Copies of this chain bind each other. A is one copy, B any other.
Amino acid sequence: MATLRVPEVVPSPSEDAEQLRKAFEGWGTNEGLIISILAHRNAAQRKLIRQVYAETYGEDLLKALNKELTSDFERIVLLWTLDPAERDAFLANEATKRLTSNNWVLMEIACTRSSHDLFMVRQAYHARFKKSLEEDVAYHTSGDFRKLLVPLVSSFRYEGDEVNMILAKSEAKILHEKISEKSYSHEELIRILTTRSKAQLNATLNHYNNEFGNVITKDLEADPEDEYLKLLKAAIQCLTYSAKYFEEVLRLGINKMGTDEWALTRVVATRVEVDMERIKEEYYRRNSIPLDRAIAKDASGDYEKMLLALIGHVDA
């Protein structure tokens, strides 16, 4: 379900490093060469290129890219080149800082990564920021947002598909009660959403739908201006149907209606090696225009070329 296209014969990491070095040298930067290499290597290959580059030229490849590139193109290339766990740690850290604070990014990382991958992010966060992820999230949030986000980023959900139907029924009832009372940050509601396995939650929410006549996300639309309620609803979507969530983020990002200007870059960088094919399907289904065409209309230059290459556009 990934859209990454890696050539059948891949150059060695040292050849790639050498070509990248060439792209940086001389008068002007060869952006096309950078795209032709980095946009067509998987995470393990990019990691090796970064290692060999540092060994050969005594400089971190990311530093070199940072010096050579600018604006949106720079951001997508840097994010993409990072190791997935490091990238998420970087995005999460940015999301806890005052000027770039973004609860959605934190929620997205916590709810759409596998338990193992989320733990890798927490390890990468220690290594890079000398702090824990939950420590920064707890420190930089407050009130209902903190109550939801800290357990989300600290979770290590069970990933088996066993489901307890009796529990699903009783917890669907609790969720319905709390939502009816508008107690959207009640500790029992938070407990259920932040600790149960995705399979168990799915059974609970299906029962909710069957028993109470509405999907839960519909019942959470009581106040469309409430930022916490929007985040809660999005968290449920991420936990149960993430392709749909990402489609919506892309739709709002591309049409510049969303508040999250880096959304397009982030979703592409983080989903290309995971489920971008599924997201493209959802996008087409909802917007009647293929994602690559929508991006081509919205973005331009090297930024556009990089995005299209990553989502598997064949001419890129």
Contact = CB atoms under 8 A, between A and B. Distances in A.
Nearest to A164: B131
A123, A135, A157, A197 — most chain B CB neighbours (10 Å)? A135
A147, A150, A155, A196 — most chain B CB neighbours (10 Å)? A150
A297 to B, nearest CB: 43
A104 interface: no
Contact of A130 (B138, B150, B160): B160
| Chain multiplicity (copies) | 2
A13 interface: no
Contact of A156 (B134, B162, B196): B134
Contact of A158 (B132, B138, B159, B162): B132
Band of interface residues on A: 20 to 34
A187 to B, nearest CB: 7
B156 A132 contact: yes
Given A138-B195, A146-B187, A191-B139, A131 B154 contact: no
A123 B158 CA distance: 9
B154 A155 contact: yes
B154 A156 contact: yes
A253 B131 CA distance: 37
Given A122-B156, A146-B187, A150-B195, 12 more contacts: A123-B156, A126-B158, A132-B155, A134-B151, A134-B154, A135-B157, A135-B158, A135-B197, A139-B195, A146-B191, A151-B151, A151-B154
